[in-house]
Structure 1
Amino acid sequence: MYAVVGVWSMDESRHEEQQRTLHEQIVPLTRKQPGFVTGYWMRDAETGKSHTAMVFDDEESAGAFKRFVESRSREAAMAGVTADFFALVEVVADARGV
């Protein structure tokens, strides 16, 4: 498996708009991506940073998703979201609750 992970700076004055877009557009669109396994969108209220981790079956699917997100960086910036870190990584282990 492969993951696309990111750390994002968010314009806190646009938090409600960003959350609505996340739940109404981004999550459903991400679920439909080829090879998608699971995804997590997280927020650190102390720093105002968001963290994301999207897991895919294979490197090709993860790479296609990463390129798609990168192609939308202008739209994201207009919505007050910029990438501090964004990378495709190999998942080398995982643990799940019983």
Structure 2
Amino acid sequence: MFARLTTIQGNPEKIEDAIRVIENDVIPASKVLPGFKTGYWFADRKTGKMYSVTVFETEKDVESTEAAASQLRKQATEKLGAEVKNVERLELIARA
């Protein structure tokens, strides 16, 4: 499996807003992406830094969904006044 790891800098005072955007917009849109397996969204309430890890069946799935993921990031960060700091593609090499 392969994953996309996204780092976002947001406002600590808008974490609850971020949760709503993730639950109402990001998760439903992510679930219909080809090869999507699961996703995890994390936040540091003190700093406003957020991370998302979306897991896909194949590397090709990650690559083929990049445009849709980019659009999702743009929409979500614009709603929250946040900024995408980094996006990485990673291979899952172990899990428990």
Whether the TM-score (by the shorter chain) exceeds 0.5 is yes
Alignment root-mean-square deviation, CA = 1.8
Residue number in structure 1 paired with 2:4: 4
Structure 2: runs of 5 or more not aligned:
none
Q: CA deviation at 1:11?
A: 2.9
Return the index of the structure with the highest Cα Rg. 1
* SS of match in other structure, 1:8: strand
2:49 maps to amino acid: K
Residue number in structure 2 paired with 1:57: 57
Residue number in structure 2 paired with 1:38: 38
1:47 maps to amino acid: T
Task: Note if 1:20 corresponds to 2:11.
Answer: no
Contact 2:2 2:90 in 1 (8 A): yes
1: CA distance, partners of 2:55 / 2:71:
19
* SS of match in other structure, 1:45: coil
Identify if the C-alpha distance between structure 1 residues 6 and 74 changes in structure 2 by more than 3 Å, giving closer, same or farther: closer
Residue number in structure 2 paired with 1:47: 47
Structure 1: runs of 5 or more not aligned:
none
TM-score (norm 2): 0.82
Identify if the C-alpha distance between structure 1 residues 38 and 74 changes in structure 2 by more than 3 Å, giving closer, same or farther: closer
Residue-by-residue CA offset, 1:47-84 (whole Å, 9 max, x unaligned): 21001111100011111233322245543442212111
Identify if the C-alpha distance between structure 1 residues 76 and 25 changes in structure 2 by more than 3 Å, giving closer, same or farther: closer
2: CA distance, partners of 1:74 / 1:32:
18
Contact 2:35 2:56 in 1 (8 A): yes
Identify if the C-alpha distance between structure 1 residues 87 and 67 changes in structure 2 by more than 3 Å, giving closer, same or farther: farther
TM-score (norm 1): 0.81
Paired residues, what number? 95
Q: State, as a whole percentage, how many aligned pairs show the same letter.
A: 25
